[in-house]
Amino acid sequence: MSTSLSPTASEQLCYQNVTGSCVKVSYSPGPRLILYMVFGSGALLAVFGNLLVVISILHFKQLHSPTNFLIASLACADFLVGVTVMPFSMVRSVESCWYFGARFCSLHSCFDVAFCYSSLIHLCFISIDRYIAVTEPLVYPTKVTVSASGICIGISWILPLVYSGAVFFTGAHDDGLEELVSALSCVGGCHPLINQFWILIDLLLFFIPTFVMMILYRNIFLVARKQAIKIENISTKAEASGPYKTRVSKRERKAAKTLGITVVAFLISWLPYMIDSLIDVFWGFITPSYIYEILCWFAYYNSAVNPLIYALFYPWFRRAIKLIISGQVLKDSSSTISLFS
């Protein structure tokens, strides 16, 4: 990517008449258009795909469950990435300049970090939800209620917003890096430097929930495998006497598998960026700007991938999309339509 997108024009400034302006890297029209199309399509998919997820779950009463409310809240976080982060990062990546002011740069960075950790905490709570559903199906309805789901959603939003706001709006993220910030800063740039302390905190906040999810999903799939073997070995009589329990067990395992894929997609998307951040802070921020942008967009695209995963594995989501796009949701009785076979 670095060779195909190499600058073809002489270096210019982001602000021609401003002292201390950043250098602008200009790309030829072809690669420039391709970049806008690639990044723009990701932003649109993140916005409209997650909007469909939220509308589906909130509109259709059959989907009103604690798990689905967590999924809807996760989709809200991904939706906000598509609205408040990706469009501005797209301009920064393609134009190699930040035209939205220093204050909004801090706000943009705050949103970036907050919605990332909000997604991670949502996924952690969802993994706990799936663990209880698969391992303790009889007590699941009493343990995991709508109220409990609401508390988890509140935590998933409040903690990341407070943390990111405290780091970026207090200026704590670059304490001890004043000389380096002064040397690297220029008008038209938006790549906040983060010191070693906060990078280590970021890594802990990233890997602790990740470790919890990995353990939970490992146990989930071990239990699910045992359940599948038991279901296959039961007699025809027993199967006929308990078809509902069998269907519920299979449904819970499938939901756990689908959400496990969502967790894996999140980790694959964000892990390279987190590792690079760790390397960068201890090796003097050596990552080239184009590598940084690639890793950022690799992470951003996770917000666009989740709706595709739901569409691929959830038949109810595909049916809901058809009803929404066809306008049938505007009918009075549409909220009670059955989405399950």
Instruction: Of 33-47, 135-149, 162-176, 322-336, give the range with the top mean pLDDT.
Output: 33-47
- Cα 281 → chain centroid: 24
Ranking 27-31, 91-95, 232-236, 307-311 by mean pLDDT, the lowest is 232-236
In this model, does residue 237 exceed pLDDT 70? Answer: no
In this model, does residue 143 exceed pLDDT 70? Answer: yes
In this model, does residue 236 exceed pLDDT 70? Answer: no
Using an 8 Å Cβ cutoff, are 315 and 335 in contact?
Answer: no
Phi/psi region, residue 183 (left: phi>0; alpha: psi -120 to 50; beta: rest), is alpha
The mean pLDDT value of the chain amounts to 85
Using an 8 Å Cβ cutoff, are 153 and 204 in contact?
Answer: no
Instruction: Give the C-alpha distances (Å, rounded to integers) separating 82 from 14, 40, 45, 58, 296.
Output: 25, 10, 8, 20, 13
In this model, does residue 245 exceed pLDDT 60? Answer: no
Dihedral angle, C-alpha 122, 90, 88, 54, nearest 10 °: -40
d(CA 67, CA 1): 40
Domains in the chain, CATH or no CATH each: 12-335 (1.20.1070.10)
Helix H, strand E, coil C: the string for 132-157 is HHHHCCCCHHHHCCHHHHHHHHHHHH
Please state the pTM of the whole predicted model. Answer: 0.86
Which residue's entry shows tokens 């002011």? 101
d(CA 27, CA 10): 10
- Could you give the 3-state DSSP secondary structure of residue 293? helix
Amino acid at 158: I
User: Tell me: the pLDDT tens digits for 178-209?
Assistant: 777 777 788 888 888 888 888 888 889 999 99
What's the half-sphere exposure (Cβ side, CA atoms, 13 Å) at 204?
6
In this model, does residue 243 exceed pLDDT 60? Answer: no
User: How many of the other CB atoms lie within 10 Å of CB of 161?
Assistant: 17
Using an 8 Å Cβ cutoff, are 165 and 110 in contact?
Answer: yes
d(CA 64, CA 36): 37
User: Tell me: the pLDDT tens digits for 94-113?
Assistant: 998 999 988 899 999 999 99
Task: Tell me the pLDDT band of 239, cut-offs 50, 70 and 90.
Answer: very low
In this model, does residue 171 exceed pLDDT 80? Answer: no
d(CA 197, CA 32): 37
